[in-house]
Amino acid sequence: MLDMPKLERIWLAIGIGSLIIFLLITGVLAVSMGLNPPDGMEATVEPEIVDTVPPFDDTGVKQIGPNEYEVTMLSFMFGYDPGEVRIPKGAKVHFKLTSKDVVHGFHIAGTPLNLMLVPGRITEYSHTFKKPGEFLFVCHEYCGIGHQVMYGKVIVED
């Protein structure tokens, strides 16, 4: 170290110094701001047995009000259960999802629905489909060798 040219020592010190400063800033901010995993998935569930406990033992669409539906869905490598969902146009739809294995994503094309599905956590989001049609949903969290075949569709009926 000591037989290094002076300039090289200076640059090395600047490099190590900025790395320490960066780690300190990130660490202090993460602790002081109380950063947590993404919001909206407070409830917990055992991923290994999730398909045997309510509401995930009976996935699919359920009518819960005059114009209100609940969609419970499981994600796994590499698909969704159910892979196709039919709902009437204009209804308020409450999505309730989780993962059976690894982290998956759930994005319905053309809607703001863009969720992260973490094993052990239940992710919920409500959306009203105002236009009829077929909406593709895809996994957008790389989850393994079959990631690209992990998709399904929401059919909004008139």
Instruction: Pick the stretch among 7-15, 44-52, 60-68, 100-108 that binds Cu ion (CB under 5 A).
Output: 100-108
In the bound state with Cu ion, the residue whose beta carbon lies nearer, of 72 and 99, is 99
137 flagged as catalytic: no
In the bound state with Cu ion, the residue whose beta carbon lies nearer, of 93 and 143, is 143
Q: Give the number of other Cβ atoms within 10 Å of residue 121's Cβ.
A: 20
In the bound state with Cu ion, the residue whose beta carbon lies nearer, of 45 and 77, is 77
22 flagged as catalytic: no
Examine residue 104 and tell whether it contacts Cu ion (CB under 5 A): yes
Report CA dihedral (129, 130, 132, 137) to the nearest 10 degrees.
-30
Give the closest residue to 77 by CA, choosing from 99, 98, 60, 45: 99
In the bound state with Cu ion, the residue whose beta carbon lies nearer, of 108 and 139, is 139
Instruction: Pick the stretch among 40-48, 55-63, 66-74, 103-111 that binds Cu ion (CB under 5 A).
Output: 103-111
Size of the site for Cu ion (CB under 5 A): 4
Residue in 71, 87, 143, 154 binding Cu ion, rule: CB under 5 A:
143
- First vs last C-alpha separation in the chain: 74
Instruction: Pick the stretch among 9-17, 31-39, 128-136, 147-155 that binds Cu ion (CB under 5 A).
Output: 147-155
* 46 contacts 121 by C-beta, under 8 angstroms: no
Examine residue 150 and tell whether it contacts Cu ion (CB under 5 A): yes
**Beta-ladder partners of 1:** none
H or E stretch at 22: helix 6-32
Q: Give the number of other Cβ atoms within 10 Å of residue 139's Cβ.
A: 26
Say which of 56, 76, 135, 137 is annotated catalytic. Answer: 76
Report CA dihedral (21, 26, 31, 37) to the nearest 10 degrees.
-170
Give the footprint of Cu ion on this chain (CB under 5 A): 104, 139, 143, 150
Enumerate the active-site residues: 76, 78
